[in-house]
A = this chain, B = another copy of it.
Amino acid sequence: MRSAVEQLANQNSLNLVCHEHRIGEPLPSIEKLNKFVGIVREILFPGYFGNTSLRSNTIKHYIGVYVDELFELLSEQILAGLCFTCANPEQVDMQERSKFAQGLASEFISFLPEIRRLLVTDVEAAYLGDPAANSQSEVIYCYPTIRAIINHRVAHQLLKLGVPLIPRIISEMGHSETGIDIHPGAQIGEAFTIDHGTGVVIGSTCIIGSNVKLYQGVTLGAKSFPLDKDGNPIKGIPRHPIVEDNVIIYAQATILGRIRIGANSVIGGNVWVTSSLPPNTKLVQSKAKETDFSDGAGI
């Protein structure tokens, strides 16, 4: 084992795989970001998430405390994100950077009422779109789409404010929790809902209109991307679909590339779509065929 230790601690073998930490800088922390997400959810849907037994005569105190805790947690994690991605740490004035992080956290908080407004439209859409839902309460409390879309709307806002790394971690946390993978860059309109959700992927340059509904396993992805002269992918080029208002996409459909799915279209499950569709298109997979599976026990 001694030799393994030598090799694993050998400086050459540590290129790329090792992240050094500078003392005094906060670290991005999954644990703290989990707490952050927990508090955001409590603020947005008080009484549904967390352990608070909320009563209306005290709600303002609770919101006040949660917002204060949020501010402190988020300021630190934004600072951690700035430090993690910083190329020239020795040239940084930490006190100034810390103030900058607090400014971003504060700005984020001012967007929370708007985020809640959007989420209410999402809850309504999920409720109206599912006969199995007994109430909006049940949707908020039990439906993974709500957790995924909270994480997304929060992460998206942070990304727009220029916060590095942290939005990506928050969206991955939602992905791990729900199986729904939405890149924080994706722009998503009102009344958005994903039924069941496992396996859904929404890429970073997607633009999704209002009142769109996806089922489990739907991909809104890239088909290809240009490389620069060194063979590295070129960043930031629009390469994911635009989905217009009132579109429904059934389970496992794969929609790739910077194409446009016109308003009011319905895409059947399991189809492969790589070109734009005009509004009102209804599309299904070509008919399956009967066959003979006679070669073994599996079938």
Contact = CB atoms under 8 A, between A and B. Distances in A.
Interface string A229-241: 0011111110100
Interface core residue of A164, A183, A224, A266 (most chain B CB under 10 Å)? A224
A281 to B, nearest CB: 7
A271 to B, nearest CB: 4
B272 A227 contact: no
Nearest to A130: B233
Interface in A112-127: 112-113, 116-117, 119-120, 123-124
Given A47-B20, A251-B254, A271-B288, A8 B141 contact: no
A288 B266 CA distance: 12
Contacts of A11: 56
B297 A132 contact: no
**Could you say which interface size class chain A belongs to?**
35 or more
Interface in A1-29: 1-5, 7-9, 11, 13-14, 16-21, 23-24, 27-29
Contacts of A27: 51, 53
Contacts of A219: 196, 215-217, 251-252, 269
A161 interface: no
A9 B63 contact: yes
A65 B56 contact: no
Interface in A231-271: 231-237, 239, 248, 250-254, 256, 266, 268-271
**Which of A232, A234, A239, A293 has the most chain B CB atoms inside 10 A of its CB?**
A293
Contact of A3 (B52, B65, B110, B266): B110
Centre residue among A67, A119, A288 by max chain B CB count within 10 A: A288
A191 interface: no
Given A128-B233, A269-B272, 8 more contacts: A14-B46, A16-B123, A19-B141, A61-B62, A64-B65, A95-B95, A217-B219, A270-B271
